[in-house]
Structure 1
Amino acid sequence: MKGYQIAYILKRKDPKLYEEARKIKEAYGLKWDEAIKIAKGEIPEPLKLNEISRKLADLENEIKTIKEDFEDIKVTLKFKVEKCKYVDDEGYCTKYPWIGKRDNWKVREDIVRGRLVYHVKVAENRFLCLGCPYFKLKKFA
């Protein structure tokens, strides 16, 4: 059955649903069967162009904010790693040794108090320094 035939039958059986489907069909330029499904609530109503534009602008603003925050974090991390008194000349943290070894981090093995520990190369894993409570500037230490 064609869309206009379905619409004709719907107009006789359920005029209220027909009117709602007709308004949706005209508003969005849809076929009858799609408009009827939307009117029945079987599928969601498509977004209008202005709604899409608004949502896209919101997303662009969020992405811009995330980029700015990320740049701030990068600057902070660079400062912390380069200026921390506990980072040696090779870029390894000497203050906070790890007990376990991570495969994806460069580490240097060391023995501390008779126990094998790993010093992480924080120059390549700067995010580890972000919340470090031991951070101290080299020139003030």
Structure 2
Amino acid sequence: MLSAKARNGGSRIAMCQDMYREHPSALFMPLAGLLIAAAVLTALWLRVEVVQPETLTWACLADARPLWCGPRQLLLEAFNLGIFGGLALIVSVAALLVTHPLGRKLALAGLVLSIFAFALYNAGAAAPAAVFASLRLMRARG
């Protein structure tokens, strides 16, 4: 027969296991916040230092183009075509439909992509994507 102390210890373990089942990663939201902050800083840096400077545009129009003009042009085409916003919307809608815990990770990816889309002029698709991703992240389970 177990003592009262052993029974209490056992119930605490069971309670912790129940909490773990409900919240498998206590670090998910803090790490998500760090990832979102990094996404904001990276997207704003890309916008201010890579997309907007006129000197870079003139350098890429010259006959002797620098090697970084190719990746810069791909980035410009991606935001001109709305790829970041569209991708953010697709991932965020998928996150709403997935009931598995993978849905939270998809929602985080959708939120990060929508941040890139906002910073790179794709706000039309990024706005609903951010709302959908936020709704999925705030869902209690899964």
TM-score normalized with structure 1 length: 0.33
Which protein shows a greater Rg?
1
State the structure with bigger RCO (CA 8 A, min sep 6), 1 or 2.
Answer: 2
TM-score normalized with structure 2 length: 0.32
Which structure features the higher share of strand residues? 1
Which structure features the higher share of helix residues? 2
